[in-house]
Structure 1
Amino acid sequence: MRIALFATCIGDTMFPDVPKATAVLLTRLGHEVVFPPGQTCCGQMHVNTGYQPDALPLVRNYAEEFGDASIDAVVVPSGSCVGSVRHQHEIVASRYGNAALCEQVETVKAKTYELSELLVDVLGVTDVGAYFPHRVTYHPTCHSLRMLGVGEKPLRLLRAVREIDLVELPEADACCGFGGTFAIKNAETSTAMLADKIRTIGDTGAEFCAASDSSCLFHIGGGMSRLRMGTRTVHLAEILASVESNVEVTA
């Protein structure tokens, strides 16, 4: 299968190891991974803060960059960005674009998948040959859980990882408090939500907290670092890309 990788803004600028791990994983599974060089942002930040017209060029760019008919699927290591592509792009295109763009958006969003969706639903694999000998707990991010409905897919993938000690996270479906600009506009509420999340992570005794969105891990990791908990964050893609000869994950 020919799979296009959408790195996302935060992946490109702050967490490049995540899109790299995604490419390594899919290549190891025998698929061709391509990286459309003109890709930018999905436009979620603009839409969420009330700047829908300003998101139009980004929506158009995404549709054009990933609309190549030779691309079988688009993989995104972020439930949040996939949520934007599937639910916000159509709104922006219909309000500020034209019929041609709406058609492009429909075509591209139908083949855009969050990583665990692509692996389990499209490629039909849960055991990717990963090896990660650490105690891990998993935080299901809001967009992947509620908007995309990925359900148990990330956990099915993690349970198949060799030597992993996967422990259940109490109150797992509670939001970490990030929510993009929510953490800035409602800092006190966000901090309280983060404190609850960090407490439950600490209760697991996990070495790593995993998730499928770097933005949430950024928020959680910052909170745990300030408390000197010793627990590190790791993206689902980084665990799944790890093999026995390469299991070291840096903070």
Structure 2
Amino acid sequence: MRIALFVTCLADALFPAAAIATVRLLERLGHQVVFPDRQTCCGQMHVNTGYQREAVTLVRHHVEVFEAAGCDAIVAPSGSCVGSVRHQHPMVARRAGDEALAVRAEAVAARTYELCELLVDVLGVTDVGAHYPHTVTYHPTCHSLRMVRVGDKPLQLLRQVSGLTLVELPMAETCCGFGGTFAIKNADTSAAMLDDKMAAIAQTGAQVCTAGDASCLMHIGGGLSRAGSPVRTVHLAEILAST
């Protein structure tokens, strides 16, 4: 299968290891991964902060870039950004009065998958041949859980990783408190939510906390680091790409 990598802003600017791991994993499984180098921000940040009119140009650009890629599927190591492409892009186009763009955006969205979705639902794989000898707990991020609805697909994949001991995270579905600008606008509430998440992680005794969104891992990892915790945060793609 020919797959286009939708790298996302955070992976591109701050956490490239997640994007590199995504490519390494898919190529190991025998697929061709291409990187459309004209891609930019998908516009989620603009939409979430109320700048929908300004987001139209970004939506149009995203659609044009991934239409031109001519791939069977589009993958991103981020439930948040995939959720934006699926749920926000057509809405933004329609509210701007551009029905043609909305229809094109829906077509691109229909081929856009979060990594675990692509592996389990499209490629039919749960054992990716990974080896990761650590005790791991999984945090299901809000967008992957509630917008993209990845369900237990990440857990299916983690259970098949040799050497990995998977431990359940108490109150796993509770938000970590990041929420993009929520963490800035509501800093005290965000910090309290993060404290609860870190306490839950500590209960597991895990060495590693993993998730499918770099944004949430950044938030959790920052808190753990400041607290002097030995627990590391590692993107799920990096675990699945390990051998």
TM-score normalised by the chain length of structure 2: 0.98
Instruction: Measure, in 2, the Cα distance between the counterparts of 1:68 and 1:51.
Output: 26
Find the counterpart in structure 2 of residue 26 from structure 1: 26
- What is aligned with 2:142? 142
Report the counterpart of residue 43 of structure 2 in structure 1: 43
- Alpha-carbon shift at residue 127 of structure 1 (Å): 0.2
* Superposition pairs of residues 49-68 of structure 1, within 5 angstroms: 49-68=49-68
CA deviations 1:148-188 (Å, max 9, x no partner) are 11110000000000000110000000000000000000000
1:56 and 1:97 in contact (8 A); partners too: no
Pairing 1:1-251 to 2, within 5 Å after superposition:
1-68=1-68, 70-96=70-96, 98-243=98-243
CA contact (8 A) 1:169 1:204 kept: yes
Per-residue deviation, 1:99: 2.9
Query: For this pair of structures, how many residues does the alignment match?
Result: 243
Q: Which amino acid aligns with 2:13?
A: T
Identity, % of aligned positions: 67
- Give the equivalent residue in structure 2 for 1:249: none
Find the residue that maps to 1:113 and give its secondary structure. strand
Report the secondary structure of 1:173's partner residue. Answer: coil
Where does structure 1 lack aligned partners over 5 or more consecutive residues? 244-251
CA RMSD for the aligned pairs? 0.8
Structure 1 residues 117-167: Cα deviation after superposition (integer angstroms, max 9, x where no partner): 000000000000000000100000000011111110000000000000110
Shift of 1:69: 6.8
- SS of aligned partner of 1:233: strand
Query: CA separation in 2, counterparts of 1:102 and 1:228?
Result: 47
State the Cα distance separating 1:100 from its structure 2 match. Answer: 2.5
Letter in 2 for 1:198: M
Greater mean deviation of Cα atoms: 109-118 or 61-70? 61-70
Q: Secondary structure at the match of 1:201?
A: helix
Secondary structure of 1:209's match?
strand
Structure 1 residue 3, shift from structure 2 partner: 0.2
* Cα distance in 2 between the residues matched to 1:98 and 1:3: 28
Taking the aligned partners of 1:97 and 1:77, their CA distance within structure 2 comes to 31
Deviation at 1:94, TM superposition (A): 0.8
Q: Where does the alignment leave 5 or more consecutive residues of structure 2 unmatched?
A: none
Aligned-partner SS, 2:36: coil
- Higher mean C-alpha deviation, range 55-64 or range 92-101: 92-101
CA deviations on 1:39-68 (whole Å, 9 max, x unpaired) are 011111100110001111110111011113
Do 1:208 and 1:234's aligned partners in 2 also have CA atoms closer than 8 Å? yes
The Cα of 1:97 is off from its aligned counterpart by: 5.2
Three-state SS of the structure 1 residue aligned to 2:103 is helix
Report the more deviating stretch, 61-70 or 136-145: 61-70
Supply the AA of the counterpart residue of 1:202: A
- Secondary structure at the residue paired with 2:45? helix
How far has the Cα of 1:96 moved from its partner? 1.6
Deviation at residue 70 of structure 1 after TM alignment:
2.7
Question: Secondary structure of the equivalent of 1:104?
Answer: helix
